[in-house]
């Protein structure tokens, strides 16, 4: 009997592969995030949160919330009682609840959360488009969850153009798995994560999926030379 390598997602089994990876790296996820982004993940999250145009009292849902870092940035703007984070890996949620006991986190699939439609002013997702089975379905769920006129934002690791792109490719190939192995003992998991960045859809295709999911006013905003990209969109005010 053959076993799939941890860095090779077999077709149709992405969700269980992703669940396994995040269950294994949950304890070291925040440390690795800080190391691999050189601390930039915080300002990136703040920029993403700012784009939702929230104020105290706005209701907001953070899909694929992981350990709740973006959820907490949203709570700073909207108030802790008005945000909810959703993730399907209990080990990541356990960390989220420990780090942010004042926030609400629920276990669920981001593609079908079961939360009421139109209940939120904004919806976010960070560093997770690459990990879901169906990106358009994720945006459809985000569009369903927000009220007409509400906003969505995605923050995702991307491939920068030009010389920075060559350097970035080398870092993904060699440094990310090495740092992953040294600090979490999970080189295979970080090889998968690095490859998922290299192989992910171009920003324009992600924007097309957002349009197909019913969103409008789509904008693509590269940050830090294109190492990360924000995708912004809106549910039409009149449908």
Ligand X SMILES: C[S@@+](CC[C@H](N)C(=O)[O-])C[C@H]1O[C@@H](n2cnc3c(N)ncnc32)[C@H](O)[C@@H]1O
Residues forming the site for ligand X (CB under 6 A) = 15, 18, 22, 64-66, 69-70, 87-89, 92, 109-111, 126-128, 131-132
Residue 36 or 215 having the CB closest to ligand X: 36
Among residues 57 and 125, whose Cβ is nearest to ligand X? 125
Nearest-approach distance from CB 23 to ligand X, in angstroms: 8
Phi and psi, residue 129, nearest 5°: -55, -40
Q: Measured between alpha carbons, how far is residue 228 from residues 41, 105, 160, 165, 204 in Å?
A: 9, 25, 8, 12, 14
Query: What is residue 236's DSSP assignment?
Result: -
Query: Which residue lies nearer to ligand X by CB, 105 or 146?
Result: 105
Cβ 239 to ligand X shortest distance, Å:
26
Provide the 3-class DSSP secondary structure of residue 232: strand
HSE (side-chain half, CA atoms, 13 Å) at 97? 12
Q: How far is the CB of 62 from ligand X (least distance, A)?
A: 7
Provide the minimum distance between the beta carbon of 69 and ligand X in the complex, in angstroms, as a whole number: 5
User: What distance in Å separates the CA atoms of residue 123 and residue 103, rounded to the nearest whole number?
Assistant: 16
In angstroms, give the least distance from the CB of 235 to ligand X: 20
The residue (of 153 and 215) whose beta carbon lies closer to ligand X is: 153
Q: Which residues of 138-169 are buried (b: 16+ CB within 10 A; e: fewer)?
A: bbbbbbbbbeeebbbbbbbbbbbeeeeeeebe
Compare residues 9 and 66 and give the one whose CB is closer to ligand X: 66
């Amino acid at each position: 009997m053959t076993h799939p390598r941890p860095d090779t997602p077999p077709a149709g089994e992405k969700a269980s592969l992703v669940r396994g990876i995040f269950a294994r790296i949950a304890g070291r996820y925040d440390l690795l995030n800080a190391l691999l982004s050189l601390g930039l993940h915080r300002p990136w999250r703040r920029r993403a949160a700012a784009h939702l145009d929230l104020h105290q009292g706005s209701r907001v849902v953070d899909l694929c919330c992981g350990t709740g870092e973006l959820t907490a940035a949203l709570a700073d703007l909207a108030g802790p009682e008005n945000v909810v984070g959703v993730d399907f890996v209990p080990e990541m949620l356990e960390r989220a609840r420990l780090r942010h006991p004042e926030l609400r986190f629920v276990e669920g699939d981001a593609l079908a959360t079961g939360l009421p439609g139109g209940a939120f002013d904004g919806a976010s997702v960070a560093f997770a488009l690459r990990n879901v089975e169906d990106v358009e379905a994720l945006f459809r769920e985000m569009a369903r969850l927000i009220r007409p006129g509400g906003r969505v934002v995605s923050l995702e690791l991307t491939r920068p153009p030009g010389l920075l792109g060559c350097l970035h490719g080398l870092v993904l190939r060699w440094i990310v798995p090495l740092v992953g192995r040294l600090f979490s003992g999970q080189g295979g998991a970080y090889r998968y994560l690095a490859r998922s960045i290299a192989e992910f859809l171009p920003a324009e295709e992600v924007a097309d999926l957002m349009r197909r999911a019913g969103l409008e006013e789509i904008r693509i905003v590269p940050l830090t030379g294109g190492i990360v990209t924000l995708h912004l969109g809106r549910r039409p005010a009149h449908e």
